[in-house]
Amino acid sequence: MMKWLPTPRDFRAALQTAMHVTEPVERIERIASLAQHDLGFVDTIQLSRALDSFTTEVSSGFSRVRLALLASATVEHLVPAIRVAGVRRKLLIDVHTGTYGQYRQDLLNPSSALYRFAPEMVLFSLTARETIAGVRLMATAGEVDKVITRSIDELRLLWRRAREAFKATIIQQTFLDVSEPLFGSFDRLMPGAPRRVIARLNDRVCEAAALDGISVLDIAGVSARDGLDEWFDRARWFQAKQEIAPQAAPAYGEQLARVVAAQRGLSKKCLVLDLDNTLWGGVIGDDGLPGIVLGEGSPAGEAHLALQRYSKQLKERGIILAVCSKNDPAIAEAAFENHPDMLLKRSDIAVFVANWNDKVDNLKAVAAKLNIGIDSLVFVDDNPAERDRMRQALPMVAVPELPMDVSDYVPCLAEAGYFEAVSFTSEDQQRAGYYAANIARESARGSAQSMDDFLDGLEMSLEFGPFAAVDVARLTQLINKTNQFNLTIRRYT
């Protein structure tokens, strides 16, 4: 279910080797490296058990997170996957699951184990069955909205209680639609049909979450994309009240860990793209500008164009774009300006590295020029040898395992979720431009006669004053993802 991750060659042997390492930092680095593979349910459990050997916080960039999973279904089988997906992002996630179906009681009882656990993050993983039970089939739209409003009001009270009790970040899971159609397509026109109720409930939950500053874990959206049978097993529900099926546990843990990591400012910042047979088909140095495959009229050309379009959309939401290619720089750059079907332009690329050097060294240069961590990069290359080389030399770089068919490049990159967000501000949208401007400033610094001349040439201005409500999202980002503006290192919602 996670095709962007490579398949492990010999998982058991690698895990045994890792567990025989006595030095804790090296051991957890090896375990984290194993987590960067597409693992099944059993392998995930084994890797989670290996994490039990780390009883205290380790160094080397790993940090602990206390997560409470408050659920109305059985969720204990999801814990190993959550932990493994966390260590994939250098997070050691301690999970509290509480008593089955007792999430209200646990939250309202200061003597409960939940309060002793003192979570930093609280996830509400609830089923829609309670809300559906309160809606009669022939209910009007107004009657349905009244029932849903009651459910939303209770949720908001629970969110508020968790925030007040633990000063925790709250995550609300969308509701899985496991209902059977009653009228077929006509369900969409019946306000009281379960499918229609769940769709409306999810819309209202997301609206309330946006108002209250709550993060959303969109399991409903992911299950709709993957197919419900990948996520829900009726036999498991009847046997153990598991709404999320065991086979979906690795994917569930992955989705949740993305949100947790994004809350910690650990989402990727920069998409680094290869050129030949990635942004276009063919080798421009051999085929020349007219010979590359790109644009309408060819299935492969349209697929490469789709990757450019998706990359440009990422740039528009604030992701930095860079190029890392083994190519003649003049020939490679000319394609961006002279090919009629080229959607990406040279101005979209913050750092353009085209030469015949090792791509590992070039990627380090990209990070240095942007002044961001190497672990902020996602490297997209059609060449399996280059991908393997990058994973070995720079394991902190995200390297999606691109499929053979170029038409699957965009789904692979999109489903990998490297750029997960928990908020979006105007500053986010302009971030790529900020980095490009910073590179221009550094260039100006090198050519300036003196520091005074350099500073004068920047023509800087400063605005200051009390912050307004519109600034809250950006302020929250700053104090949570960097220590530059938060010397206490405590994180706040």
133-147: per-residue pLDDT in tens?
999 999 999 999 999
Residue 434 has pLDDT above 80, yes or no: no
Give yes or no for residue 431 having a pLDDT over 90: no
Do 295 and 324 touch, CB atoms closer than 8 A?
no
Write a three-state SS string for 86-106.
HHCCCEEEEEECCCCCCHHHH
For residues 308 and 242, membership in a common domain is answered with no
pLDDT at 297 over 70: yes
Q: Is the pLDDT confidence value at 396 over 80?
A: yes
321's enclosing H/E stretch is strand 320-326
Do 233 and 329 sit in the same domain of this protein? no
At residue 57, the pLDDT reads 57
For residues 87 and 132, membership in a common domain is answered with yes
138 C-beta neighbours (distance < 10 Å), count = 9
Report the pLDDT value the prediction gives residue 444, as an integer from 0 to 100: 66
Rounded mean pLDDT, 95-119 = 94
| Residue 171 sits in the same domain as residue 297 | no
Give the count of beta carbons closer than 10 Å to the beta carbon of residue 227.
9
Helix, strand, coil percentages in the chain from 3-state DSSP, rounded to 5: 55, 10, 35
Alpha carbon distances (Å) from 346 to 49, 229, 275, 349: 48, 44, 13, 5
Element (H, E) at 115: helix 113-117
CA-CA-CA-CA torsion sign (220, 221, 224, 230): negative
Long-range contact set of residues 85-88: C-beta below 8 Å, sequence gap at least 24: 85/35, 85/250, 85/253, 85/254, 85/256, 85/257, 85/258, 86/253, 86/257, 86/260, 86/261, 87/28, 87/31, 87/32, 87/35, 87/47, 87/51, 87/62, 88/32, 88/35, 88/36, 88/254, 88/257
Instruction: Indicate whether 465 pLDDT > 90.
Output: no
The neighbour count for residue 353, using CB atoms within 10 Å, is 22
Number of domains in the chain: 2
Domain boundary among 263, 289, 315: 263
Alpha-carbon radius of gyration of the chain: 25
Place of tokens 């260590």: 87
State the CATH number of the domain containing residue 228. 3.40.50.1110
Is the pLDDT at 110 greater than 70? The verdict is yes
User: How far is C-alpha 1 from the chain's CA centre?
Assistant: 15
Alpha-carbon torsion, ordered 182, 188, 189, 190, to 10 deg: 40
Q: What's the rounded Cα separation, in Å, for the pair 272 and 324?
A: 6
* Overall average pLDDT of the 325-338 stretch: 93
**Whether residues 120 and 214 fall in one domain:** yes
Average pLDDT over residues 355-361: 96
Based on the fold, state whether residues 223 and 336 are members of the same structural domain. no
Does residue 23 sit within a domain?
A: yes
Find the CATH number of the domain harbouring 345.
3.40.50.1000
At residue 447, the pLDDT reads 72
**What does the mean pLDDT of the chain come to?**
91
- d(CA 344, CA 325) in angstroms, rounded, equals 15
Classify residue 341: in a domain, yes or no. yes
Q: Say whether both 309 and 222 belong to one domain.
A: no
Single-letter code of the amino acid located at 322: A
- Overall average pLDDT of the 405-432 stretch: 88
As a whole number, mean pLDDT of residues 118-146 equals: 95
- Beta strand extents in 165-315 (DSSP E only): 169-173, 215-217, 270-273
pLDDT given for residue 172 in this prediction: 98
| CA 276 – CA 267 distance, rounded (Å) | 27
**Structural domain for 88, as ranges:** 11-263
> What percentage of the chain carries pLDDT values higher than 90?
77
Q: What is the pLDDT of residue 430?
A: 73
Give whole-number Cα distances, 204 to 149, 159, 208, 210, 422, in Å: 8, 15, 6, 10, 18
Residue 459 belongs to a domain: no
CA distance 363 to 376: 11
> Rounded to an integer, what distance in angstroms lies between the CA atom of residue 274 and that of residue 117?
46
Res 60: pLDDT: 65
Residues 61 and 177 in one domain: yes
Q: What whole-number distance in Å separates Cα of residue 183 and Cα of residue 168?
A: 42
For residue 55, the model assigns a pLDDT of: 62
For the residues 289-308, what does the mean pLDDT come to? 94
Please state, in angstroms and rounded to a whole number, the distance separating the CA atoms of residues 263 and 257: 10
- As a whole number of angstroms, the distance between CA 335 and CA 340 comes to 9
On the 0-12 / 13-18 / 19+ scale of CB atoms within 10 A, 239 is exposed
Measure the N-to-C terminal CA separation of the chain; round to a whole number of Å: 32
Residues 238 and 292 in one domain: no
pLDDT band at 427 (very low <50, low <70, confident <90, very high): confident
